[in-house]
Amino acid sequence: MLELRDISVSVTEEKEVPILKDINLALDKNKIYVMTGPNGGGKSSIAKTIMGIYQPVKGKILLDGIDITEKGITERARLGIGYAFQQPPRFKGLKVRELLALAGKEDLDEQCDLLFDVGLCAQDYIDREINASFSGGELKRIEIATLLARNLNVAVFDEPEAGIDLWSFQKLTETFEHLHEKYNTTLVIISHQERILRLADEVILVSEGRISEITSRENILAEIEKIDFDCRCRKECIKGEIASAECDR
Amino acid sequence: MLNAIDKRLLQEVADLHTIPQGAYNIRKNGQAAGRQSTANIDIVTKAEKPGIDVIIKPGTKGESVHIPVILSESLDDLVYNTFEIGAGSDVLIVAGCGIHNPGSNKSQHDGVHEFFVRKGAKMKYVEKHYGEGSGSGQRILNPKTIIEVEEDGTVELEMIQIKGVDQTKRDTQIRLHKNARLIVSERLLTDLEQNAESNITVELFGEDATAQIISRSVAQDNSRQVFHLSLRGYAKCRGHIQCDSIIMQNAQVSSIPEITAFHSDAELIHEAAIGKIASEQLVKLMTLGLTEEEAETTILQGFLK
């Protein structure tokens, strides 16, 4: 279990600006949490605080009862925390195979399975350098694969669907759904997509640096249903039948 | 005789663990330390100045020539080597210089290598620099490489220098004729107080000649690097320079591009970038469990591969 107790985070530009205020969360093993809310509300900041990229000015973080607040990124990674970046970096000279090996999967067959799980043809990608020739969507999928490569205690995915085409999106939601068949991971997904929300055991609403509500998937979907009542394309959207439509509802 | 230091230097510059297969010429402290010609590859000493002529018969395929130079004492060494790559041949030439300087005097090796790559011939030329030794004596390497590539010839050039050399000035001049192809990959890492300068000029004289230069470097500590990469197109031709540097600590890097077209169908591109390691790259690798130092090493190794 991962617990955030009274966590506050600030960034210092010219002066100290609070970006997270009194965050309290208890995230259980083997559950899927979807974090959603307006842009700039603090979702990615919570993810980065869990990973140790941001250090809190106040509060504690506990992993299975052990205080990890003072631990850095590397130590937290070794304790089984993983974070898939919203905008992952490219690496000139580093091949997909090598990155997956760094993530802990050195076996070629297993690497191929991972790429398949994120909707990439292993044959085409395994020996490619993660350089500027990668599109945003391809990069995102490699990023997701680096997390799936590890048997994690806590896996945080930051808008995994961004830039990914609909066919792969289908594959991706299946991969998330089936993750718990293999691993006992606490899964946190930052997303605005209805189809990801449908996977949630609990939905965490974040806005203005605070957790405004923790609710059930049913509640949030009912709310969306209400908002989208007038949208004629809704059903097709959910089924993934409209390839060109981008809907953030 | 080769001692343990010599063997290590040979391994560093020519990936040789023992005396090489095929043709070779080993130069140690300004003297010949071993030579072998083969049926197709003749190595002869120059009469008028220090150095060798390497003559490869037309049509020689899949053979290699190793010509390492090792310096294990303070010395000022200068050689002129000439290579005749016969028409239609396909060969690998591994040069390189390893310096072990234990003393306080400088060790310097200046090599002038001139290549004639004849019609339709294919040559891969690998040149590695390596320096070591705890003494205060400077380790200096100044190679000059001149390559003439005749019609339909292909040249692949790999130039590698990773640490250990205090001063280096590398001059490379290449002339490409009709339909000749050139690929240059340069890898350089300097640290401490080292200075490195690389000047590459490629002249594309022949129709449909193509040149690609990929230069990647890392400058650490107080080291300085200067790249002057120039393409000159005199015919319908294509050329591309890609020059990427990672800068760290107090290092200094200059990347000076020059592309000149003397023909309206010459297509020449120069790309150059200097920057430090992106912090997102470090953080990403740390989220996989690497320490910051391990992450940095991984990024640099990949970049210089």
Q: What is the ipTM of this complex?
A: 0.88
* Unique residue bearing structure tokens 């990672």: B246
> Which pair of structure tokens corresponds to residue B286?
């740390």
Contact B299 A91 (CB under 8 A): yes
Strands (DSSP E) contained in B21-135 are 23-28, 31-36, 41-45, 52-56, 61-66, 69-71, 76-85, 90-100, 107-117, 122-132
Q: Where are the alpha helices (DSSP H) in chain A?
A: 43-51, 73-78, 96-102, 108-117, 122-125, 136-148, 166-182, 194-197, 217-227, 234-239
Cα distances (Å, whole numbers) of residue A61 to A74, A113, B207:
16, 34, 67
Is-contact B220 B248, C-beta < 8 A? Answer: yes
CB contacts of B299 in chain A (<8 Å) are 91, 94
Q: How many domains does chain A have?
A: 1
Å between B137 CA and nearest CA of chain A: 35
Å between A47 CA and nearest CA of chain B: 12
Please name which of A211, A206, A152 lies closest in space to residue A176, comparing C-alpha atoms. A152
Cα distances (Å, whole numbers) of residue B294 to B284, B286, B299, B300:
12, 8, 9, 10
A139 within some domain: yes
- CB-nearest partner of A85 from B244, B284, B298: B284
Residue type (1 letter), B110:
D
Contact B287 A77 (CB under 8 A): yes
Contact B288 A146 (CB under 8 A): yes
- CB-nearest partner of B286 from A74, A92, A94: A74
A21 within some domain: no
Determine what percent of chain A falls in helix, strand and coil, rounding each to the nearest 5.
35, 25, 40
Please name which of B197, B255, B187, B247 lies closest in space to residue B222, comparing C-alpha atoms. B247
> pLDDT tens digits for A186-234?
999 999 888 899 999 999 999 999 999 999 988 888 877 776 665 666 6
* Unique residue bearing structure tokens 């391809």: A138
- Which residues of A touch chain B, with CB atoms under 8 Å apart? 51, 53, 72-74, 77-78, 82-83, 85, 87-89, 91-94, 98, 102-104, 146, 150
Å between A2 CA and nearest CA of chain B: 17
Helices (H) and strands (E) in chain B, counts: 3, 20
CATH number of residue A103's parent domain: 3.40.50.300
Contact A102 B281 (CB under 8 A): no
- Ordered by start, the domain boundaries in chain B are 4-278
Is-contact A61 A4, C-beta < 8 A? Answer: yes
The residues pairing with B229 across neighbouring beta strands, listed in sequence order, are B200, B257
A129 within some domain: yes
Q: What is the mean pLDDT of chain A?
A: 89
Average pLDDT per block of 10 residues along chain B, 305 residues long: 80 72 88 90 93 96 92 85 97 90 85 96 94 84 96 97 92 98 96 96 98 96 97 98 96 95 97 94 97 96 91
| Residue A14 pLDDT | 84
Positions in chain A short of pLDDT 70: 227-249
Å between B292 CA and nearest CA of chain A: 8
d(CA B172, CA A100): 39
Range of the domain at A152: 30-52+69-239
Contact A74 B281 (CB under 8 A): no
Contact A93 B291 (CB under 8 A): no
Å between B50 CA and nearest CA of chain A: 40
d(CA B261, CA B264): 7
Is-contact A69 A75, C-beta < 8 A? Answer: no
> Which pair of structure tokens corresponds to residue B277?
């390691």
Strand A2-12 relative to strand A16-27, pairing: antiparallel
Contact A94 B244 (CB under 8 A): no
Q: Where are the alpha helices (DSSP H) in chain B?
A: 4-14, 279-286, 292-304
A156, closest residue in chain B (CA to CA): B287
Helices (H) and strands (E) in chain A, counts: 10, 10
d(CA B19, CA B25): 10
CB contacts of A87 in chain B (<8 Å) are 280
A63 within some domain: no
| Residue B126 pLDDT | 94
| Residue A249 pLDDT | 47
Task: Return the H-helix or E-strand segment holding B140.
Answer: strand B139-149
Å between B279 CA and nearest CA of chain A: 9
Contact B278 A89 (CB under 8 A): yes
A165 within some domain: yes
